[in-house]
Amino acid sequence: MKKYIGLLVLVMAFNIVVSDVVFAEEIDSSTEAETSTSARIVDDGIPLPPVPKGTVINNLGTTTSVKTQTQIDAQVKAKAELKLKLDAKKAELVENRAEAKAKMEALKAKAKEQKDLKKAELEQKRLLAREKVLFRFDKSINSLNALKERINAQIVKVTTLGIDVTIAKENIIKAEANIDSAKAKVIEANTILSLSVNQLSVENKTKLKTLAKEVQILLKETQKLLSNTTKSLKEALKAKKTSTNTDAKVNTSASTSTNTTTQ
């Protein structure tokens, strides 16, 4: 599994870039941090004791008792309701993001109409700096979204093996909520940055720095959550493989013993 160094660098760069926009709002160049993440699950097996019958291997590699149908139905209902709320929130975020981007484009068009060349250059640099901030936010969020989807695919794969992935699914829901919260804050930042081509007010500078910090915290929490989920799925696969191998050895031994006795 590839490391999350690129994502960490990208997240850490937020405060630096936002500070540049807040206090200078003129950035000539910036270092691009590439994100390279992967949620590939490795199934290489580790020695674990056999799992007793009547239990289910969960996504932490341990065992848990089978839930009653009532508990399962209640859990399914709760998840369905949460999904509806998340879907509605996502639709709202998409609409708000499109509106914020349109405002930024309008500011860029207005800056091009500026007849004072020196002032026009200053305004364009200012807008470019603001766009770089938003680009970094979007890039990190998209990277986490892609990682989340890869983990979702692994959850489906693991489920077919009869492994309990309840905790993994709950982690994915939490990750989605964090990502949506981060998106909402980015939209709020976009709204502030697209108010005018003029320098930000002291109040908006403070608000922008606060939003950047909050987004950074959300992204770090999400990255850790997804990383732990990947690790737990890998451990569950190892436990499943070990259990399967143990059962196979027991069956082979029993078969050999029976054949020997018969002879």
For residue 111, give both structure tokens: 């800056």
Q: Higher pLDDT residue, 80 or 259?
A: 80
Kind plus residue range of the DSSP H or E element containing 56? strand 56-57
Q: Which amino acid is at 180?
A: D
Q: Higher pLDDT residue, 42 or 248?
A: 248
Sorted by sequence, the CB contacts under 8 Å of residue 232 that are 6+ apart come out as 59, 60, 61, 167, 168
Q: Do the beta carbons of residue 222 and residue 181 sit within 8 Å?
A: no
Q: At what angle do helices 202-262 and 166-193 cross, to 10 degrees?
A: 160
Predicted pLDDT at 174? 92
Predicted pLDDT at 262? 56
Is pLDDT at 148 greater than 70 in this prediction? Answer: yes
Distances (CA, A) of 180 to 24, 87, 91, 92, 166: 29, 10, 10, 10, 21
